[in-house]
Amino acid sequence: MAERQVMIMAGEASGDLNGSAVAGHLLQADADIKLTGVGSTRMRDAGVELLCDSSDWGVIGLADAVRISPRLIGQMRRLKRYLAEARPSLLLLIDYPFFNMRLAGTAHALGIPVVYYFPPSSWSRKPRRTADLARLTEWVATPFPWSAEMLTEAGCKAEFVGHPVLDWVKPALPKEELARIFKLDVNAYTIGLMPGSRASEIKHILPVMLKAAEIVSSRVKGVSFVLIKAPNLPLAGLQSLLKRASVDVTVTDRYPNDVMALCNQMVVTSGTATLETAAAGVPITVVYRSNLPTWIQARIFLKIPFISMPNIILDRPVVTELLQYEAGPGRIAEEICSLMADPQRAVSMKQQLAMAMDCLGEAGANRRVADRILGMLEAAK
């Protein structure tokens, strides 16, 4: 019997997380499947043979894309050659559309079935590239119900599989044990910081988060701060910024879901982290800052009322969004203190966040994707 090979493409941290989970389910069902692809430490640990490491591929905006494009062009050529030579049984693409859609075209031309998980703009109620998706893919798995409906109408074989955040956010430790591990006071008011998973986000967002923490600490005694670091980011990249701050901040990438659940509120960079925090049931303030060209580009091309997932899902302002020049230390500190001073507002926000999560289906999205892939491989025998 010919060897069955699934190639998995994940260009960013969240894709690496989901790719590793899908890989684990595939190997659990059939240990003889060969898994290759692009990802980072999680996919490697799950048993995927990495053709290249994408831990620093995460970019926002044209300026960042231009900076890394020569390297990505080289990797694209290499991966296209690999597809032509290795002819995997199936190509699984996860998000990262500006790269993955080009790879989809190559795979389709070679007769390799393409599955797209987290298709382009799946969060949007006006998805893009639907015609290309219908032409290039065998199946599209989307985490948002409205996306599945619109993609199906456009001719895609699309299915709402639920959102995998429902699988990720499962606290495992008692709060007292977690507080002991990280030397936190379980009775203290704890504020979590999630500055993002991209180097550019750390550069533009973490300094203002830390300044805001300094302001809050000067106004309110006994407040604890904990920073949840993305696994793909080296600690060295954060240390110089943390050393300059005049406030104690505990940093961890261990037990992130437990740490979130320990927090009374979170200050979160816009992105998947807003859903993770919502799933943990923690009140959120969403912030985002970038370089000026990226901000101008976003203002011109992104005609959307909200950027945080809870607000997008419910189509109303559930959480405060502080963007670019609004996301200064003083304004962030003001929002943190406002939530501290108004427990009823925090309770109301938790209730609305729970409503947003109820829209995302049931846990098990990554397993459902793996099961569908296994079915496609069986049908192709």
In which domain, by residue range, is 244 found?
Answer: 175-358
Residues 268 and 288 both lie in one domain: yes
B/e letters for 252-263, b = 16+ CB within 10 Å, e = fewer, are: eeebbbbbbbbb
Q: Kindly state the DSSP code that residue 62 receives in the 8-state scheme.
A: H
Residues 184 and 63 both lie in one domain: no
3-state DSSP call for residue 19? helix
- The more confident residue out of 287 and 270 is 287
Residues 56 and 151 both lie in one domain: yes
Choice among 90-99, 184-193, 233-242, 353-362 with the minimum mean pLDDT: 233-242
Domain assignment present for 302: yes
Domain assignment present for 124: yes
Q: What is the CATH number of the domain that holds 275?
A: 3.40.50.2000
Residues 326 and 353 both lie in one domain: yes
Domain count of the fold of the chain:
2
**CA dist., res. 69 & res. 338, Å (int):** 42
Domain assignment present for 169: no
Residues 340 and 369 both lie in one domain: no
Residues 278 and 195 both lie in one domain: yes
Domain assignment present for 214: yes
pLDDT tens, residue by residue, 175-231: 788 778 877 777 789 999 998 877 778 888 899 999 999 999 999 988 999 999 887
Residues 256 and 221 both lie in one domain: yes
Residues 373 and 237 both lie in one domain: no
Burial classification of residue 235, based on how many CB atoms lie within 10 Å of its CB (0-12 exposed, 13-18 middle, 19 or more buried): exposed
Domain assignment present for 135: yes
pLDDT tens, residue by residue, 331-343: 999 999 999 999 9
Domain assignment present for 217: yes
**CA dist., res. 115 & res. 231, Å (int):** 26
Residues 134 and 184 both lie in one domain: no
Domain assignment present for 170: no
Q: Kindly state the DSSP code that residue 319 receives in the 8-state scheme.
A: S
Residues 92 and 108 both lie in one domain: yes
Residues 212 and 344 both lie in one domain: yes
Residues 308 and 330 both lie in one domain: yes
* Main-chain dihedrals φ then ψ at residue 287, nearest 5 degrees: -125, 150
Domain assignment present for 344: yes
Strands (E), the chain: 5-10, 34-39, 49-53, 90-94, 114-117, 139-142, 158-160, 189-194, 223-228, 250-252, 265-269, 284-288, 320-323
Instruction: For strands 90-94 and 223-228, give the pairing.
Output: unpaired
pLDDT band at 300 (very low <50, low <70, confident <90, very high): very low
